[in-house]
Structure 1
Amino acid sequence: MCGIAGIFHLETAKPVDPARVGLMLDAMPWRGPDDSGVWTAPGVGLGHLRLSIIDLGSGTQPMLTEDDSLAVVFNGEIYNFMEVRAELEAKGHVFRTQSDTEVILHGYRQWGEACVEKFNGMFAFALFDARAQALWLVRDRLGVKPLHYALLSDGSLIFGSELKSLLAHPLLRRAPDLSAVEDYLAYGYVPDDACMVAGVRKLGAGETLRIVRGRPLPQPQRYWDVSFADRSRARPEALEEEMVALMRQAVRSRMVADVPLGAFLSGGVDSSSVVALMAEASKQAVKTCTIGFDVRELDETAYADRVARRFATDHRTRIVSPDDYGLIDTLALHFDEPFADASALPTYRVCELAREKVTVALSGDGADEAFAGYRRHRFQMQGERLRGLIPASVRRPLFGTLGRYYPKADWAPRPLRAKSTLLELAGEGGEAYAASVGVTPHALRQRLFSPDMKARLGAYRAEDRYVRMMAEAPARDPLDRAQYADIRIWLPGDILTKTDRMSMAVSLEAREPLLDHRLVEFAARLPVAQRIRGNSGKYLMKKAMEPFLPQDILYRPKMGFVTPISAWFRGPLAGEATAIAGGSALAKTGWFDAKMLGKVAADHKAGLADHGRLLWQLLMLDKALARLFSL
């Protein structure tokens, strides 16, 4: 796990100042505290920060071939590098290190750009080909590792693992992209096909970009995508066996490291499954860690303790207060763009706890997206069935009218929160699912934005991204379409961004075995009944893990990290809520209706409405704007 940055001149091979590349690296020191290096040649400069994981003595970067014709900087891990290396050695390649980085160089020399299809891992890398005068940027299939890039006024392209590494270059113009503001308010994060800084792009998951000197900048090319278009016809028992075999492979391949390794353990089915398979493969006690809360209804430590005892792990628990708002500025620093998933707070704390003993930690991320574990997946299935039974000419006016007049009741028990459900039933499948994954509805955003902001946004609407993705999905069923959109949008934009930034903030490498692309492809071929049955999501996964885990771990209700943000804005953050309406960076932009912002804050503080999540979104946007644009 590392950080990379670089500069490439597209038109002529002008000299690159190594100090400038060094400044780009200096902006993100936590990504590589063990070593750093910069290499330049006419027209190109590559920089690397190293968090040493494999081949501690000789895996330094930038790494070059013996004839200096190829150079690479690499962030991540290639888990099958020994198998790929053996294949290359059989073809006559001679290796000088034990590092997975060197496999990229030899793989490219042997197979060209097709080499990436051989790699199983999480990675973002930049490879310079001196003979072709080309720079090749690559990102892993699911988007575990980030890569940002931008064109500058001097004809150069800059790239880096974090947005702040690009911001360290003096020629990058700092201007906001207003469509990204709309995206952020809709989703609570800025998706991978957008950026808060105009002109900056993120290489998409499963994409490559080849830039050849003297030619125009092309569009990225997709080398991998997941398809839900086919169905497995295997017996359920055979599917269970295949799934366990794939999970075993994924976990064991991610346990290769030359540094201490452990796992996050929440006591839920995903992390518990990973720990069970780690314990099976390990000769020593697996190091596990759990964050608990001093509020009983939020605390999962009893479940984690039970799993830890079952597999005799070396387990540590730390109880923290949910009132961890002191981390706000730390979050703003590491995310760069605004990020409103409040579970980032406890994620930072569990990474911090893990880093005290290990350098690598395995997580359970990805199973909900791959195997349909979210409640919204079940609701989408049920809603599509109902929408299919009632003609649109009846359904739209009926449910639309009921939804408009049904009171909003965030405080009520879940069965009574029917307003959003009624409105979703009035719409079509894509529209309904886009609304279910959003955090601030379109109608509310329209009331929040100023007339000038609405005019500048025009017809742009964040939800259309989900609607398009679902309409174009390689899929057979509404559940397929929802999962496909989650894997393409939500997973890299929210879940993996959160894990990457919070783990890297403490120089910890997080690995996600349940996002092995072979496992994701297997999950996409499962019949719907093997993903959701009754009220149980991840059905096949739970059945397959029954020999390993007790029933109350496998089938208990999903909890997840929870933070009491609504209470914060009536207590210690009340002043922050008031400032949002006037005097803040947000207020200076002119993007929002100041009276509406004031009403949101006042109504929340008075207990007339629950706007805690919206205020958290606005606060994190305010913090990001202050950092990105010095407002």
Structure 2
Amino acid sequence: MCGIIAFDDPTVLDKEDTIEAMMEMIRHRGPNLEGGGHYINDEVALGFCRLSIIDLGGGGQPIYNEDGTIVITFNGEIYNFQALREELIAAGHIFKTKADTEVLLHGYEEWGMAGTLDRVRGMFAYLIYDENKKALFGARDFFGIKPLYYYQNGDTFIVGSEIKAFLKHPNFKKELNKKALKPYLMNQYNDLDETFFKNVYRFPAGHWFEFKDQKLDMHEYWDAKYDLNENRTEAETIDAIDKEVVDSIKLHNVADVPVGSFLSEGVDSSYVTTVLKPHEVFSVNFDNGPFDEASVARGLAEENGLNFNVETVDGDEAFNDFAEMQYHMDEPDANPSVIPLWYLCRLARKKVTVALSGEGADELFGGYVNYGMHTKKQVIRVFANSLHKLPRGVRYSLGRGIKHLPAFPGKVHLYTWTAKPSEYYVGEAFIYDPAQPTIFTSDQANGVLQSEFKNNLTVNGIYQKDFAKVETAEELKQMQYIDLHHFMLNDILQKADKISMAHSLELRVPFLDRKVAELANSIPSHMLLNPNGSKWVFRKAAEKHLPADFANRPKLGFPVPVKTWLREAKYCDRVRALFEEDWVADLFDQKKILQLLQDNFDEKIDGRRQIWVLYTFLLWYKMYFIDWEGTVKKYGHVQPDVAKLMASGKLV
């Protein structure tokens, strides 16, 4: 795993010093001193920081083609690279290394960008400069597992793995994207194409680009398609899921370094762990959390003869480290799961270089409560399932009527099974009350913001262009498509990459494989979501490897006790101190946010999610816009445990 950075800017005369300074900002992504480097000519500069995974001695970058006219830098893994390598050798290409990177380089020569991307399985962001065409090419993987950002302003074009590296370019203008703040408050992460930094954008997943003569052209090469297989039986579907999942996990185990896995008590990580059977597995819990997932996970690990590693986190440690977590995120992300992931990665890096995790199964196989599992009462589930069989027009009208009824048991469940998703669905921003559809409602968000940050953007409104692409698909598929392109892309996978790479750990996600996804997308909704529960056939496939009680456990993740923390005086006081800083008044109505904090502390309301999005943003803003130089001095380094490995010569 690595970090990549590049720029095209004719006004920068000292390209070497500039690219080196930018590389230093992402050194945590590739701390191996050997194997990193740069490529510079009159037009462009490319930089690379390496964390060795495949071909430890010979996989350094940049890598050149046979005549030195094409150069590549690559972040990620190509899991089927060995078969593609043999095909390219047969076509006459000469390989200098055994690394997967070179497959992309020679693949570009042989098949072009589109042809190469049609053949690969993996996670990646990579850049290719072609001297003959005087063009910079690049691509981001199917799901956006690996990040890739770009900045275009005047004659300056920058592209790379992390935004913080951009800040070292002399022509980068650091400005806050003011329109991003309001939807962030509603959604806990920034879901716009433009990041919190003005003129910095995320490259879309499943796309490649060409940059030439100051012009950027993007091309889509993959997107989720929902061509349902109605002829396959449930038993055949279960067998097909298990085959593709097992094959993907085996591919994701290819490495020349130690591999482990994360393990909670949920079905996703348990499925991965029992198939992979790594020597080391890792879990985390909280000293005052509502659940102890680690004890259940320990039982599964011991049953399979695996070495179980667990870390218990307390509130003091979490609050002390939270600013550093947000520094590494580049943009504020108020998903509390950032916290347990930080400690999981720190724990895992002490013993392994690669870890497998269960991200993606919920989006692909229908696992979220918000897809329509808002009640445990079987009679309501069965009734809702029968209503769902009504013609769409009738059902949607019924849903609109249910929305405006007074509250009653099962209302939310009945509403979500009858309503049109594009009229209500807001993913994980939903907090189980149609009257309070997001963390902050649109009016509430505008109510706490200063005037220059107010706008009419809503979470559901941001989703409309993607709903339009799948309006004829089944309702569950519509919601899954939205989550693939929003919650998973801009929240789940962002934190998975940024937090793992902060610890110089490669995190692999075997469910997010194109073959697994294409199978999942072909499964009719009734096999995934029905009165029996969520992820139905997926859980049945998992039962081939897991005890039934593990395969059918409800989704918990690693629950974070934010509610408890914010009602403890010492933590509430830390939040209050930040809310009271003078510069906060330029962004928010301080009186209102301080009252929100106090009302939550006094247990008059449950405002934890609202407070947490505010606190997260303000911590991030203070680091990046109030005290950037101090932030870099404090956090701009590899983690202490990684530094010790480097010093001892044991970093692999």
Note whether the superposition's TM-score is higher than 0.5.
yes
Residue number in structure 1 paired with 2:267:
269
Letter in structure 2 aligned against 1:318: E
Letter in structure 2 aligned against 1:605: F
Shift of 1:529: 1.9
Does residue 1:376 correspond to 2:375, yes or no?
A: no
Letter in structure 1 aligned against 2:250: R
Residue number in structure 2 paired with 1:440:
440
**Are the aligned partners of 1:54 and 1:99 in contact in 2 as well (CA < 8 Å)?**
yes
**2:198 and 2:311 mapped to 1: Cα distance?**
41
**Are the aligned partners of 1:228 and 1:484 in contact in 2 as well (CA < 8 Å)?**
no
Residue number in structure 2 paired with 1:410:
none
**Are the aligned partners of 1:291 and 1:318 in contact in 2 as well (CA < 8 Å)?**
yes
Which of residues 6, 17, 24 is equivalent to 1:26?
24
Residue number in structure 2 paired with 1:560:
557
* SS across alignment from 1:298: coil
After alignment, is 22-31 or 600-609 more displaced?
600-609
**1:436 and 1:362 mapped to 2: Cα distance?**
23
Residue number in structure 2 paired with 1:149:
150
Does residue 1:525 correspond to 2:525, yes or no?
A: no
Shift of 1:15: 5.2
Does residue 1:616 correspond to 2:612, yes or no?
A: yes
**Are the aligned partners of 2:189 and 2:490 in contact in 1 as well (CA < 8 Å)?**
yes
**Are the aligned partners of 2:366 and 2:529 in contact in 1 as well (CA < 8 Å)?**
yes
Letter in structure 2 aligned against 1:273: Y
Residue number in structure 2 paired with 1:37:
37
Does residue 1:120 correspond to 2:121, yes or no?
A: yes
Which of residues 465, 477, 481 is equivalent to 1:480?
477
* SS across alignment from 1:463: helix
Structure 2, unaligned runs of 5 or more = 375-380, 430-437, 628-652
**Are the aligned partners of 1:76 and 1:122 in contact in 2 as well (CA < 8 Å)?**
yes
Q: How does 1:343-358 map to 2 (within 5 A)?
A: 343-358=337-352
**Are the aligned partners of 1:400 and 1:426 in contact in 2 as well (CA < 8 Å)?**
no
Letter in structure 2 aligned against 1:330: E
Residue number in structure 2 paired with 1:282:
none
* SS across alignment from 2:94: coil
Residue number in structure 2 paired with 1:92:
92
**1:469 and 1:541 mapped to 2: Cα distance?**
26
Residue number in structure 2 paired with 1:174:
174
**1:351 and 1:173 mapped to 2: Cα distance?**
33
**Are the aligned partners of 1:189 and 1:338 in contact in 2 as well (CA < 8 Å)?**
yes
Going from structure 1 to structure 2, the CA distance change for 1:102 and 1:389 (only over 3 Å counts) comes to closer
Going from structure 1 to structure 2, the CA distance change for 1:109 and 1:394 (only over 3 Å counts) comes to closer
**2:401 and 2:284 mapped to 1: Cα distance?**
47
**Are the aligned partners of 1:15 and 1:43 in contact in 2 as well (CA < 8 Å)?**
no
Q: TM-score normalised to the size of structure 1?
A: 0.90
Residue number in structure 1 paired with 2:208:
208
Shift of 1:322: 5.2
Does residue 1:58 correspond to 2:58, yes or no?
A: yes
1:54-91 CA-partner distances (Å, limit 9, x unpaired): 10111111111231210111101111100110111111
**Are the aligned partners of 2:284 and 2:558 in contact in 1 as well (CA < 8 Å)?**
no
Shift of 1:534: 1.4
1:511-546 CA-partner distances (Å, limit 9, x unpaired): 000111110110010011221131421111111122
Residue number in structure 2 paired with 1:429:
421
**Are the aligned partners of 1:226 and 1:521 in contact in 2 as well (CA < 8 Å)?**
yes
Shift of 1:628: 2.4
**Are the aligned partners of 2:563 and 2:608 in contact in 1 as well (CA < 8 Å)?**
yes
**2:311 and 2:473 mapped to 1: Cα distance?**
45
**Are the aligned partners of 1:499 and 1:510 in contact in 2 as well (CA < 8 Å)?**
yes
After alignment, is 297-306 or 470-479 more displaced?
470-479
Residue number in structure 1 paired with 2:328:
334
**1:14 and 1:504 mapped to 2: Cα distance?**
29
Going from structure 1 to structure 2, the CA distance change for 1:582 and 1:400 (only over 3 Å counts) comes to farther
Going from structure 1 to structure 2, the CA distance change for 1:96 and 1:399 (only over 3 Å counts) comes to closer
**1:584 and 1:310 mapped to 2: Cα distance?**
55
**2:220 and 2:341 mapped to 1: Cα distance?**
31
* SS across alignment from 1:306: helix
Letter in structure 2 aligned against 1:226: A
* SS across alignment from 1:465: helix
* SS across alignment from 1:572: helix
Going from structure 1 to structure 2, the CA distance change for 1:535 and 1:471 (only over 3 Å counts) comes to farther
Going from structure 1 to structure 2, the CA distance change for 1:572 and 1:231 (only over 3 Å counts) comes to farther
Residue number in structure 2 paired with 1:412:
none
**Are the aligned partners of 1:20 and 1:169 in contact in 2 as well (CA < 8 Å)?**
yes
Q: How does 1:181-260 map to 2 (within 5 A)?
A: 181-191=181-191, 193-212=193-212, 214=213, 216-218=215-217, 220-260=218-258
Letter in structure 1 aligned against 2:139: V
Residue number in structure 2 paired with 1:547:
544
After alignment, is 15-24 or 130-139 more displaced?
15-24
Which of residues 487, 490, 501 is equivalent to 1:490?
487
Going from structure 1 to structure 2, the CA distance change for 1:584 and 1:573 (only over 3 Å counts) comes to farther
**2:15 and 2:152 mapped to 1: Cα distance?**
17
Residue number in structure 2 paired with 1:599:
595
* SS across alignment from 2:470: coil
1:480-514 CA-partner distances (Å, limit 9, x unpaired): 10001101111111111111111111110000001
**Are the aligned partners of 1:3 and 1:48 in contact in 2 as well (CA < 8 Å)?**
yes
* SS across alignment from 1:358: coil
**1:387 and 1:596 mapped to 2: Cα distance?**
46
Q: TM-score normalised to the size of structure 2?
A: 0.87
Shift of 1:296: 6.7
Residue number in structure 2 paired with 1:411:
none
**2:302 and 2:285 mapped to 1: Cα distance?**
17
**2:119 and 2:57 mapped to 1: Cα distance?**
26
After alignment, is 321-330 or 123-132 more displaced?
321-330
**Are the aligned partners of 1:271 and 1:364 in contact in 2 as well (CA < 8 Å)?**
yes
Shift of 1:595: 3.0
1:389-420 CA-partner distances (Å, limit 9, x unpaired): 877777647633636xx9xxxxxxxx69x7x7
Letter in structure 1 aligned against 2:310: T
Does residue 1:287 correspond to 2:283, yes or no?
A: no
Shift of 1:328: 1.3
After alignment, is 347-356 or 321-330 more displaced?
321-330
Structure 1, unaligned runs of 5 or more = 280-284, 407-414
* SS across alignment from 1:255: coil
**1:487 and 1:260 mapped to 2: Cα distance?**
30
**1:313 and 1:87 mapped to 2: Cα distance?**
38
Does residue 1:319 correspond to 2:312, yes or no?
A: yes
1:312-332 CA-partner distances (Å, limit 9, x unpaired): 112222233355222211112
Shift of 1:159: 1.2
**1:526 and 1:334 mapped to 2: Cα distance?**
37
Which of residues 382, 387, 406 is equivalent to 1:402?
406
**1:547 and 1:423 mapped to 2: Cα distance?**
35
1:239-293 CA-partner distances (Å, limit 9, x unpaired): 22221111121111111111111111112111111112113xxxxx532111133
Q: What is the Cα-based RMSD across aligned positions, in Å? A: 2.6
After alignment, is 84-93 or 167-176 more displaced?
167-176
After alignment, is 354-363 or 608-617 more displaced?
608-617
